[in-house]
Amino acid sequence: MKAEPTGPAGAATSQGGRTRNRRGEGALLRDEIVAAAERLLEREGNEEALTLRSVAREAGISAPSIYTHFADRDAIVEAVLDIAFERLRLLVLDAVGSVEDPVQRLLAGCHAYANFGMDDPARYRVLFGRQRADRPAIGSPKDIGELPEVWRHRLDSFMVLVDALAECVKAGRSGSTDPFADATAVWTSLHGAVTMRQFIPGFPLPPLGATVDDLVRRIALIRS
């Protein structure tokens, strides 16, 4: 039997001469593709910069190599979305983790969310500003459990907000009778505060920190 040609360090190559991935290296290449897409997004500041050619060039591979791991450009964007949602969740959890007072914990999580939007505008716009054909419709709390698993995971950072408001109610520090609905109103208002500052940067808005405090205290019916 004819021996299969080998590349550097004994790695098997295809008939066309391209070095094949060793066992287990496919996942590594996938991660490199996603990392390249993240770098492009951060550097260029908009999702339009993510094309198959640009991502492949950034990763140092040929464009056809991407198809082994991603069906198309949108699949790469979805992978970037997963990482960004997880990053947001960890930022919120880190902000609230050592805070004992329930009101201050709620405020800390909301400040972390707003700061993420202002500090990382490109990723924020990909998370909450792009049109999605499969976007989930959330009509009431019971619908959360009916969402696809990927969206349940992506909403984990929002559920931290819901839980924080529920703790305020439990401690007698909030007059909310529906923490889920009121947390949704807080989230919507925070999103508006962030996007107003991103898209109308010269408008004389009050400082973001003061805005977050005011919105949360009023909408979550916080009792001092």
Residue 5: inside a domain, yes or no? no
| Residue 15 pLDDT greater than 60, yes or no | no
pLDDT for the residue numbered 137: 53
Among 42, 70, 98, which residue terminates a domain? 70
**187-210 pLDDT per residue, tens:** 999 999 999 998 887 889 999 999
**126-167 pLDDT per residue, tens:** 888 665 555 555 554 456 666 677 777 778 889 999 999 999
Counted domains in the chain: 2
Q: Which structural domain range is residue 180 located in?
A: 80-219
Contact 107, 212 (CB under 8 A): yes
Residues 97 and 175 placed together within one structural domain of the fold? yes
**69-88 pLDDT per residue, tens:** 999 999 999 899 888 889 99
Residues 92 and 165 placed together within one structural domain of the fold? yes
pLDDT for the residue numbered 199: 83
Residues 26 and 114 placed together within one structural domain of the fold? no
Residues 159 and 114 placed together within one structural domain of the fold? yes
Residue 120: inside a domain, yes or no? yes
Residues 24 and 50 placed together within one structural domain of the fold? yes
Lowest mean pLDDT across 17-31, 41-55, 82-96 = 17-31
| Residue 57 pLDDT greater than 90, yes or no | yes
**88-98 pLDDT per residue, tens:** 999 999 999 98
Q: What is the CATH number of the domain that holds 134?
A: 1.10.357.10
pLDDT for the residue numbered 162: 94
Q: What is the pTM of this model?
A: 0.77
Residues 61 and 98 placed together within one structural domain of the fold? no
Residues 161 and 203 placed together within one structural domain of the fold? yes
| Residue 17 pLDDT greater than 50, yes or no | no
Q: What is the CATH number of the domain that holds 58?
A: 1.10.10
Residue 98: inside a domain, yes or no? yes
Residue 202: inside a domain, yes or no? yes
Percent of the chain with pLDDT strictly greater than 70 = 79
Residues 26 and 84 placed together within one structural domain of the fold? no
- Higher model confidence: residue 27 or residue 87? 87
Residues 165 and 96 placed together within one structural domain of the fold? yes
pLDDT for the residue numbered 211: 97
Among 11, 44, 70, which residue terminates a domain? 70
Residue 224: inside a domain, yes or no? no
Q: How far apart are the C-alpha atoms of 39 and 160, rounded to whole Å?
A: 28
Residue 9: inside a domain, yes or no? no
